[in-house]
A and B are shown apart, each in its own frame.
Chain A
Amino acid sequence: MATPGLRLDGICLRLGRHDVLRGVTLDCPPGSVTCLIGPNGAGKSTLLALAAGLRMPSAGRIGIGGEGRPAGDGMEGVAYLPQESRFPAVLTVREVFDFACAARRSDVPARREAAEVSGVEAMSDRPVGELSGGWVRRLGLAVALLRPASLLLLDEPFVGLDPQTLDRVLTHLERRRAGGDTIVLASHEFELVDLLPRRVAVLDEGRLRAVLPATAPGARQMYRELLAPEGAPPVQECGHGR
């Protein structure tokens, strides 16, 4: 499936009196991994939620695909993993996964691949309410990694995973990137992020500080350099959405 990519153009979001995002412009081309880093409250999760269509921006435009179709809910080819995966407690893992496969119209190999990466088949007959936090996370990953989605918006995808699952997930993400899929993830797991050939987008106080190429040094080092209190440039107010 051709990879659409993601384009954020001057995205602003104002909640109450607080500017959560201030004119974020970011281009995520097909076949790239873009990692959003930044302190808590920088707007990383909100940006992903906006791209997934869960919220509408106060100003700016979100384009998905080469034709620049606007983001909204129910988009073909877009997968989203929220920071905290929630599923109805009374449904079994199999029911949740089957529902996602049917809604995404995934074929058998895609279904098998997502199940193997996440390892959820071992728990397929268990109700979600009886799963540990790590297993719910793995179920969320299984749903998000289903093909044919080609734009993956992953919020903290490595949290709560055991080392074996982490390896499988990283390998899978690299395979998806090499296949032309676009991956945008928010993570504080800098060492894991550095294992992927990723660009790094540094967010702070709702503003995009920098976008660094894949050849840039480690994410932790960049985080320290760019977001140290004495080195941080002043935040400019966004004129949109007022």
Chain B
Amino acid sequence: MGADGAAPHRPSAAGAVRWFAGRQVAAVAAARMSVEAVGRARHTAVLLVAGRELRLLRRRRAVRGALVLLAGVAWLPPLVLPLRAGSLGLATFEESLLLAVALSAVVLPLLALLAGADLLAGEIEDRTVVPVITLPISRAACFAGKVLGRAGLLCASYSAAFGSVAIAIAACRGSTGWRDYLVIVVSGLLLCLVCGGVGAALGASTRGRVRAFGSALVVWLAMVFAVDAALLAAVVVLAPPPPQQIGTHGHSELAAPGRGAPIREHQASAPSEPQRGVSAVWLMALDPTDLFRISAFVWGPALRARLTVGLPGADSVAASVPLAVGWLAWLSVPPLVALWRFRRCAL
């Protein structure tokens, strides 16, 4: 009843419907605004944590050492190869490819696994993550921000190191073979991100920095040596190469030009070989380092011509499916595991 004692206004049915519809529209608009506000807050939180992560990384000596090592991995192949011929200077893209693949497949996983293992384990152990997640920053936003900061620094440093090498080679020795080099660089970056994710999952699953680093080292040894050798053996069994092509130097010999086996054309393969080759690629996608090597060989035009042993008939189109699936799985599953573990972690 109104304050003046007048009879209360009785709305008509149509008015009530309009009022109800108006309320619904307003509620939906408010909910949408609320969702948008939450989304904005999350983005801001992620960027804030990413900025904090970059500040932390910039001041750590170990990070500077890792960046120097990364630059060494990039510059070593073109600088070392001419020394074998007794000359100084830079090797061409084509000459640098194989050593770049071999070196990257060993060093990059180690660097990325250790960097990933430290992502959460260090801050959880030091309890410096507590003041972050008790601000209005969710664990998911904290994780995303830390990943963004660390992966951003890794990508920038990696691109700078390999980009500077590419520019130097192109300027001094010409640009022949640059596409293969680009494939190796991009695959190497994916390998870094995958191993970083695996390291983060290990760091979130173990208590303390030392255990995280220890498990990262064990995984690195398994990934680069044990699983790699096992998969290689499985591939040889699955798609046996001609006897004269089997060597003792693993993957580096598989595609070594002018050493051991001559280049074999795919047409010479038996009809069932393409299927067996693709199966072999699926199998090798189980190990990120093999995924990196196979990606470099399958997607690099010049390197693909050298790929004969173990993967007969696995042309770039057919092999791209398992490779793409493998990369997607490796890029997405370990970070999700890390996030799941971090969200359940008692601090």
Real complex partners, A and B? yes
Counting chain A CB atoms within 10 Å of each CB, which of B44, B52, B131, B142 scores highest?
Answer: B131
* Segment touching B, from A29-37, A86-94, A166-174: A86-94
Report chain A residues within 8 Å CB of B138: 72-74
If A88-B56, A91-B56 touch, does A54 touch B136 (CB 8 Å cutoff)? no
B133 and A53 contact, CB distance less than 8 A: yes
B128 and A87 contact, CB distance less than 8 A: yes
Report chain B residues within 8 Å CB of A79: 134
Q: Which residue of A55, A80, A86 is within 8 Å of B346 (Cβ)?
A: A55
CB-nearest residue of chain A to B60: A90
A15 to B126, CA, bound (A): 21
A54 to B133, CA, bound (A): 8
A72 to B134, CA, bound (A): 9
B136 and A104 contact, CB distance less than 8 A: yes
Q: How many residues of B contact A (CB 8 A)?
A: 28
Q: Mark A34-61, 1 if CB is under 8 A from B, else 0.
A: 0000000000000001001111100000
A105 to B130, CA, bound (A): 18
7 closest A-B pairs (Cβ-Cβ)?
A: A74-B138, A80-B134, A103-B135, A90-B59, A54-B347, A86-B127, A55-B346
Q: Which residue of B59, B123, B126, B131 is within 8 Å of A100 (Cβ)?
A: B131
B127 and A84 contact, CB distance less than 8 A: yes
Q: Is there a chain A Cβ closer than 8 Å to B45's Cβ?
A: yes
Q: Which residue of A75, A82, A95 is within 8 Å of B127 (Cβ)?
A: A82
A86 and B126 contact, CB distance less than 8 A: yes
CB-nearest residue of chain A to B130: A82
A53 to B344, CA, bound (A): 11
A161 to B133, CA, bound (A): 25
Q: Is there a chain B Cβ closer than 8 Å to A1's Cβ?
A: no
A-B contact pairs, 22 of them (CB 8 A): A49-B347, A54-B346, A55-B346, A73-B133, A73-B134, A73-B139, A74-B45, A74-B135, A74-B137, A74-B141, A78-B136, A79-B134, A80-B134, A82-B131, A87-B131, A91-B55, A95-B55, A99-B48, A99-B52, A100-B135, A104-B135, A143-B135
If A84-B127, A87-B128 touch, does A103 touch B136 (CB 8 Å cutoff)? yes
B61 to chain A, nearest CB (A): 10
CB-nearest residue of chain B to A80: B134
Report chain B residues within 8 Å CB of A105: 41, 136
A53 and B134 contact, CB distance less than 8 A: yes
Counting chain A CB atoms within 10 Å of each CB, which of B126, B133, B139, B344 scores highest?
Answer: B133
B4 to chain A, nearest CB (A): 32
Q: How many residues of A contact B (CB 8 A)?
A: 33
CB-nearest residue of chain B to A102: B48
Tell me the chain B residues, 113-164 only, with Cβ under 8 Å from chain A: 123, 126-128, 130-139, 141-142
A84 to B346, CA, bound (A): 16
Tell me the chain A residues, 74-120 only, with Cβ under 8 Å from chain B: 74-80, 82, 84-88, 90-91, 95-96, 99-100, 102-105
A49 to B133, CA, bound (A): 12
Report chain B residues within 8 Å CB of A206: none
Report chain B residues within 8 Å CB of A49: 347
Q: Is there a chain B Cβ closer than 8 Å to A140's Cβ?
A: yes
Report chain B residues within 8 Å CB of A75: 136
CB-nearest residue of chain A to B122: A88
A83 to B48, CA, bound (A): 25
A153 to B219, CA, bound (A): 41
A75 to B38, CA, bound (A): 11
A111 to chain B, nearest CB (A): 14
A105 to B347, CA, bound (A): 24
A80 to B129, CA, bound (A): 13
A52 to B131, CA, bound (A): 11
CB-nearest residue of chain B to A140: B131
B128 and A86 contact, CB distance less than 8 A: yes
CB-nearest residue of chain B to A77: B136
Report chain B residues within 8 Å CB of A103: 45, 48, 132, 135-137
B338 to chain A, nearest CB (A): 16
B347 and A74 contact, CB distance less than 8 A: no
Report chain A residues within 8 Å CB of B344: 56
CB-nearest residue of chain B to A92: B55
B136 and A76 contact, CB distance less than 8 A: yes
A55 and B48 contact, CB distance less than 8 A: no
Tell me the chain B residues, 29-72 only, with Cβ under 8 Å from chain A: 41, 44-45, 48, 52, 55-56, 59-60
Report chain A residues within 8 Å CB of B139: 73-74
CB-nearest residue of chain B to A13: B346
Report chain A residues within 8 Å CB of B132: 103
A109 to B60, CA, bound (A): 34
